[in-house]
Chain A
Amino acid sequence: MIHRLLAVLSLAFLCGSAVNAEPFVQGGPIGSQTSDGYNALGPVVQQPIDFPHYRHAKDMGINCMYCHTGARRGYVSVIPREDKCIGCHQNIESVKDKPRIKKLFEYWDKKEPIPWKKVNDLPDFVRFNHERHIQRFYFRQDRPVREVCGYCHGDVANMTVDRRVKSLSMGWCVSCHEKDHKESVTNMKTSHGPNECWQCHK
């Protein structure tokens, strides 16, 4: 019985690894590590639409939080709803015949949500608050938005489909939390991030 169970489990594991071509390796695949040891390229995620982040964030210079509106308000940064995309794109005639935009309008006409897949996924027992980080580094210290988001998400403005670039492990979180950061632009006082279990573990 146990052998049969094991066989089923290993089969499931094999199927799972076949779907995700690059399984998660702590510290990233061999060769991808940088000197801090925490950079880890995540798997390539096949999204329903190859969303061009570079076009929006780099070429057009749109603030990340124009679409990811939850980042400054709450725990999750929010994948924008479809009407956010349509709100702009119904007025941009020049790209309406492009295949990605056609696909977007197909979903819109069918009244179906776009089944985006999660790229940066934390375990369920971790409470990560986007709001605190954005409020601290973007609004209080006035750092550029691409830098602030990039601490964890990497250079998304040069990507097409987003890909995880950091390991998002606890050691990686703590490596930043134990550094001293300036509290605001005018205040020279420094402090480090909170360093207790219940801050993140629920």
Chain B
Amino acid sequence: MSITNLLNNWSFYRNKRPYRGQYDLNRQYGEYKWAMAVDLDICTGCNACTTACYAENNLPVVGKHRFEHGQVMHWIRIERYWDEKMGEFPEQGTSFLPMMCQQCEAAPCETVCPVAATSHTNDGLNSQNYHRCIGSRYCSANCPFKVRYFNWWNYPSTAWPAPLEDQLNPDVTVRTKGVMEKCTFCVQRLSEAKSRARTEYRLVRDGEVLPACAQACPTGAISFGNIVDPESKIAKMWKNQQVDLYKDMQEKDNTVRGYRILEDLRPFPSVMYMERVRDAEA
């Protein structure tokens, strides 16, 4: 973002996000808003999404010792929750929740970065610029979902010994020591798909591009798409679950399962989860 652009569009950048009309198919840079839906009823907690993310985004494997220090670098993690009430068979009450960056519209991390290394893109993504980051870790402290990961060590020199560097994805930077990183919704795939679509005078088709986690999910629990297009699968899912991107409190029936995590903190996340339905009697 150049300073000229910032000054010319000052009122735009000072607007409260999100606002109605922010994303519109007719606007030049507002025709995409990437969103996700995770069905916890289908998720089996198999960790395939995490593995796919490691492969796609050049994530270092930190080892057991650093894992214990909380320095693990998974951009998407499976959280496990146990239901106490399940009685005789407690493992019956396990539920899994894949947690990745929620790409909040009013992202708490963006406002606190001292060097503007993290900012909002026109696609509604929360971008992280590794080369501008100075490693203050303020964004991670302010993230209510704890999905930002800090490079405590110089992983490029240790995480991929001799032949392993061949597996690195050339479309993603290998992050060095002292920068913050997080889930990008696989922005390298998105920008490639957008470019291809623009050459052919169209928008990205529904299902044309998927992030690595959604692609790897064996049960199809993760759906992804452009929520601006009312015909897309993801927009229909959000609508059927009566979750509105622009609202911090959803008024909905008891029959639907959709919700967004920590909605009352008003970060307006872009990921909708669908509750697990359980029959406690059975």
Contacts and interface: CB of A to CB of B under 8 A. Distances in A.
A112 B121 CA distance: 45
Interface in B191-240: 191, 195, 198-199
Nearest to B127: A198
A178 B5 contact: yes
Report whether over half of chain B's contact residues are helix, strand or loop; otherwise say mixed.
loop
A196 B1 contact: yes
Contacts of A196: 1, 119, 121-122, 127
B247 interface: no
Interface string B114-143: 000001011001010111100000000000
A199 B125 CA distance: 11
B195 A129 contact: yes
A124 B173 CA distance: 8
A110 B170 CA distance: 31
Contacts of B15: none
Nearest to B175: A125
B130 A125 contact: yes
Q: Bin the interface of chain A by size.
A: 10 to 19
A178 B9 CA distance: 12
A125 B173 CA distance: 6
B92 interface: no
B28 interface: yes
A198 B132 contact: no
Contact of A198 (B29, B170, B187, B195): B187
A174 B1 CA distance: 9
A202 B171 contact: yes
B262 interface: no
A3 to B, nearest CB: 22
B1 A132 contact: no
A191 interface: yes
B191 A178 contact: no
A201 interface: yes
Nearest to B199: A135
Given A135-B199, A174-B2, A198 B191 contact: yes
Interface string A149-177: 00000000000000000000000001001
A81 interface: no
B131 A201 contact: yes
Contacts of B157: none
Contact of B191 (A124, A125, A195, A199): A199
B2 A178 contact: yes
Given A178-B2, A194-B122, A131 B127 contact: no
A62 B166 CA distance: 38
B188 interface: yes
Contacts of B188: 127, 202
B172 A202 contact: yes
B116 to A, nearest CB: 9
A162 to B, nearest CB: 24
A125 B131 contact: yes
Contacts of B172: 202
A1 interface: no
B119 A131 contact: no
Nearest to A125: B173
A117 B151 CA distance: 34
A197 interface: yes
A131 B2 contact: no
A197 B191 contact: no
A201 B198 CA distance: 20
29 contacts: A127-B171, A127-B188, A129-B195, A131-B195, A174-B2, A177-B2, A191-B28, A194-B29, A194-B122, A195-B1, A195-B2, A195-B5, A196-B121, A196-B127, A197-B1, A197-B119, A197-B121, A197-B127, A197-B129, A198-B121, A198-B125, A198-B129, A198-B187, A198-B191, A199-B191, A201-B131, A201-B173, A202-B171, A202-B187
Interface of B: 1-2, 4-5, 28-29, 119, 121-122, 125, 127, 129-132, 170-173, 184, 187-188, 191, 195, 198-199
Sorted from nearest, which 7 A-B pairs have the closest CB atoms? A198-B127, A197-B129, A196-B121, A125-B173, A174-B2, A197-B127, A195-B5
